[in-house]
Amino acid sequence: MADPKDIDRVMKVLEANESLDFVQRIFSPEKYPAISEDERLGKGEFATHQMSYTENDEGTEFYVYPNIVHREGKLDWLEGGDAAKYAANSGEFIKFDKREDAEWFSENYKLIWPEK
């Protein structure tokens, strides 16, 4: 079971960025399409999100962004540089001041979802 402090930490970040499409999809994944037939998924599994993070050239700012993006009514799974470029061009990212915070959030944003 997730630590309530960690859930609160995730919620604060999400609520501060609630206007972003990928954050809205985190809050309400059932309202959006899912990817179900992809070689990265096991049989019978589906995905609505996957996050990564990167930093600016100076290593002073860090950005969490989705690898699965919502465009034209469907989800697309973008790889590495393509996902980062999409995030930079669309504004679909969350900025962090510390690498540790960006890494932690990119790995723990799903804590707000009930455990299966």
Model confidence at 31: pLDDT above 50: yes
Which tens digit of pLDDT belongs to each residue from 105-116? 999 998 887 654
| Average pLDDT over the chain, rounded to an integer | 89
Which tens digit of pLDDT belongs to each residue from 63-97? 999 999 998 888 999 987 899 999 999 999 999 99
Q: What is the mean pLDDT of residues 23-43?
A: 83
CA distance 41 to 23: 22
SS (H, E, C) the chain: CCCHHHHHHHHHHHHHCCCCHHHHHHHCHHHCCCECCCCCCCCCCCECCCEEEEECCCCCCEEEEECEEEECCEEEECCHHHHHHHHHHHCCCEEECCHHHHHHHHHHHHHHCCCC
Q: Which amino acid is at 105?
A: F
Predicted confidence at residue 93, as pLDDT, reads 97
Predicted confidence at residue 115, as pLDDT, reads 55
Predicted confidence at residue 4, as pLDDT, reads 86
Whether this prediction's pTM lies above 0.85 is answered by yes
Predicted confidence at residue 111, as pLDDT, reads 86
Predicted confidence at residue 116, as pLDDT, reads 43
Domain ranges for the chain, please list them: 4-111
